[in-house]
Amino acid sequence: MNKYRLHIATLILLTGLVGCDKSEVGDISLGVFTTQDIKLNTLVDPLVPGVTCHVASIEADLSFADPSDSSIACRQTGEITAAMIATIDKSKSGEIVFRKSKSIFFKTMKIRRVFDAESQTLMYVSYSTKETSGSFKHSLSTVPLWGTQAYVNPVGIEQPPSR
């Protein structure tokens, strides 16, 4: 019987540790009789550390739920330099800057950074994928480079005269 209790205690402890996330800044319960919560996470772009994104997503502990909804808000929280922008992927598909497993069904939340050179803006898209399919649910946030050291006048676009 003691061996059984030890296994249960270990399982409970490990379940609690799985929920720990150093980037988590908020945890909002959706009700007393549900295991679903809204988790709020802070993510700093690894190549452009002057950008911080906050992501809200549904997480269900000990559930077979398939949560896809998330929202993202990214802001300039520090310097953004031309050297930082020079290191990022500038292709139309951009690059994944964050990924997190969302369920036991191989569902993954991803955040992708895409650079819009014409408007000098970093775009961050949050979306979910499965190994076999994608999801139409997504969220977008933009960080303009205007006013940063990284801003350059786009070729072929005239800027209004300064007053």
Query: pLDDT, tens digit, for every residue of 68-124?
Result: 778 999 999 999 999 999 999 999 999 999 998 766 666 788 999 999 999 999 999
Q: Provide the 8-state DSSP code for 42.
A: E
Check residue 8 and give its pLDDT: 42
Q: Does residue 71 lie in a domain region?
A: yes
Write out the residue range of the structural domain in which residue 50 sits.
Answer: 23-144
**Cβ-count burial 120-155 (b if 16+ within 10 Å, e if not):** bebbbbbbbbeeeeeeeebbebebebeebebeeeee
Q: Is residue 48 part of a domain?
A: yes
pLDDT at 161: 65
Q: Give residue 29's pLDDT.
A: 84
Q: Is residue 126 part of a domain?
A: yes
With 60 as the cut, is the pLDDT of residue 6 above it? no
Please check the confidence at residue 19 and state whether its pLDDT lies above 60: no
The confidence score (pLDDT) of residue 136 equals: 72
Q: Report the domain count for the chain.
A: 1
Tell me, yes or no, whether 14 lies in a domain: no
Work out the pLDDT band at 9, boundaries 50, 70, 90.
very low
User: Would you say residue 157 lies in a domain?
Assistant: no
Query: Among candidates 78, 77, 70, 79, which has minimal Cα distance to 41?
Result: 70
- Rounded average pLDDT over 143-156: 92
Residue 150 resides in a domain: no
Most confident stretch, 34-38, 58-62, 155-159: 34-38
pLDDT reported for residue 54? 98
